[in-house]
Amino acid sequence: MLIIKLKTHIMHKIPLLFLALVMLFTSSTHAQTSYTYSMVIKGGHVIDPKNKIDELMDVAVNDGKIVLVAKNIDAKKGRQVVDAKGLYVTPGLIDIHVHFFWGTDLQGTYRNGPLALPADGFTFPAGVTTVVDAGSSGWKTFETFKKQTIDRSQTRVFSELNIVGEGMAGGRFENNIDEMDAQKTAEMAKKYPENIVGVKLAHFNGHRWEPTERAVEAGKLANIPVMIDFGGADPYLPLDSLFSVKLRPGDIYTHCFGGDDGVGINKLNGREQIVDIKTNKVKPFVLKARERGIIFDVGFGGASFLFSQGTPAIKSGFFPNSISTDLHTGSMNGPMKSMPNIMSLFMAIGMPFKDVIAASTWNPAKEIKHEELGSLSVGSGADIAIFNLREGAFGFYARDGQVKGKNRLETEMTIRNGNIVYNLNAIATPNILPAAPQSNKPIKEH
């Protein structure tokens, strides 16, 4: 009996002894390999327009932040190493025109409705880490949008509040001037300054200036820019008046290459063009508007880009300040597809790669007054995109034609807050699974 008891006693001790040995071993192993960085990105060509970097550089990340951009950072100091040889490393893309107020109100269109999209599935595969939802919610619906999308997305989601209280809930709201309350819009913007970066006017059809005026008034009250999707009018409202009288420097004119005043290829949308298609020149008042500080944004969308506008503008050196998608169910699988696709399209019509990257990173960061974003500055959050600039025969189209291109940007990797959130070709060592979002609580506060 005693022998048996003694045996049992020893048997119980063995696992404890084993555990103690394992703990000793792992702690000493850990001590030997204490890493300086959580991640080192090796051998990539860094393009960082803010810091004027355009050369082979390594990037080190720690604690969610960029801590070093330099030649030859020791890979052994990184817990995770990304092989970016032959690839381009840029700041995470910023897309300032998307529609992510997805929901189940079947009449809601882009406001809590089926025409909008959930964020993370459409951002990270495209190298996008920050988006601005362009007016899908208004002051009456913003808090629902915040709860459903902003707080539950790994993507950093900002909002431009629609001047229409309901947001983009269809013509009965969007074409109703009584729905446009500058005071209430500004109050909501001031209540959530960390989320709301602008005011949006969209889809108003009619020969009236009040919608623009109310949006700008809200922008003034909250001290934030407005983004104008100019709707349509017959005869069209003159863009010169919009740019030189109604808008302020820093205000954004989206769908800038989408105007079709009836002399265009397909159909009248009642909006003046910025390029005179008889002379193929950017109209002089547009150049003056740019000098005054009006921002020209792409907002490519389902049908809001025309080669007859974009190509002559690019050829003459008039580049958009920002490239943005206008991403929604109607554009996601059409000519637009994604940021890298339209960035490649702009390269195909003559916009230099470096300028394309600036228009997708640092420029939009400045436009939304978030200059802590859009660069690889040391100390900034580690939102990084890695691209393969493929060479070959590629094609791009829009509603008025198509072009061939020699390059296509393909997203290899997206890093958000120092974590790999998209990894196409397993180029990290080790390749680890991204954290799964939890379904029953907000992922994080942004």
Least CB distance to Zn ion at residue 159 (A): 13
Q: What is the spatial distance between Cα 428 and Cα 39, in angstroms, rounded to a whole number?
A: 9
CB within 8 Å of 269: residues ≥ 6 apart: 232, 258, 259, 260
Least CB distance to Zn ion at residue 442 (A): 26
Least CB distance to Zn ion at residue 430 (A): 40
Secondary structure letter of residue 199 according to DSSP: E
**DSSP 3-state of 354:** helix
Q: What is the spatial distance between Cα 394 and Cα 388, in angstroms, rounded to a whole number?
A: 14
Q: What is the spatial distance between Cα 142 and Cα 189, in angstroms, rounded to a whole number?
A: 9
Residue keyed to tokens 């702009």: 346
Nearer to Zn ion, 44 or 225 (CB): 225
217 binds Zn ion (CB under 5 A): no
Least CB distance to Zn ion at residue 330 (A): 10
Nearer to Zn ion, 117 or 233 (CB): 117
Nearer to Zn ion, 179 or 326 (CB): 326
Q: How many CB atoms lie within 10 A of CB 292?
A: 14
Least CB distance to Zn ion at residue 180 (A): 17
Site map for Zn ion, 276-315, x if CB under 5 A? ----------------------------------------
Nearer to Zn ion, 162 or 423 (CB): 162
Nearest CA among 402, 424, 400 for reference residue 414: 424
Candidate segments 173-181, 323-331, 365-373, 402-410, binder of Zn ion by CB under 5 A: 323-331
Least CB distance to Zn ion at residue 284 (A): 28
| CB-based burial label for 394 (10 Å; 0-12, 13-18, 19+) | middle
Which residues are 387's β-sheet partners?
A: 88, 411
| CB-based burial label for 429 (10 Å; 0-12, 13-18, 19+) | middle
Nearer to Zn ion, 97 or 416 (CB): 97
Least CB distance to Zn ion at residue 150 (A): 18
Cis ω before 430 (30° cut-off from 0): yes
The number of residues making up the chain comes to 446
Residues contacting Zn ion: total by CB under 5 A: 2
* The binder of Zn ion chosen from 160, 174, 251, 326 (CB under 5 A): 326
Candidate segments 13-21, 180-188, 240-248, 319-327, binder of Zn ion by CB under 5 A: 319-327
Q: Which residue is nearest to Zn ion (CB)?
A: 326
Candidate segments 38-46, 184-192, 281-289, 325-333, binder of Zn ion by CB under 5 A: 325-333
Candidate segments 28-36, 40-48, 320-328, 357-365, binder of Zn ion by CB under 5 A: 320-328
Secondary structure letter of residue 438 according to DSSP: P
**What helix, strand, coil percent values describe the chain, rounded to 5?**
30, 30, 40
Nearer to Zn ion, 81 or 274 (CB): 274
Secondary structure letter of residue 319 according to DSSP: -
Torsional class of 317: left (φ above 0), alpha (ψ -120 to 50), beta (otherwise): left
**DSSP 3-state of 312:** helix
Nearer to Zn ion, 166 or 326 (CB): 326
Q: What is the spatial distance between Cα 282 and Cα 314, in angstroms, rounded to a whole number?
A: 10
Least CB distance to Zn ion at residue 296 (A): 15
Question: Under rule CB under 5 A, which residues in 123-162 are in contact with Zn ion?
Answer: 134
Give kind and range of the element (H or E) at residue 270: none
Nearer to Zn ion, 303 or 386 (CB): 303
Least CB distance to Zn ion at residue 258 (A): 11
8 Å CB contact between 197 and 224: yes
Secondary structure letter of residue 436 according to DSSP: P
Nearer to Zn ion, 96 or 134 (CB): 134
Nearer to Zn ion, 297 or 326 (CB): 326
State both tokens at 401: 């034609």
Nearer to Zn ion, 258 or 381 (CB): 258
State both tokens at 436: 């799964």
Question: Using CB under 5 A as the criterion, which residues of the chain lie in contact with Zn ion when the complex forms?
Answer: 134, 326
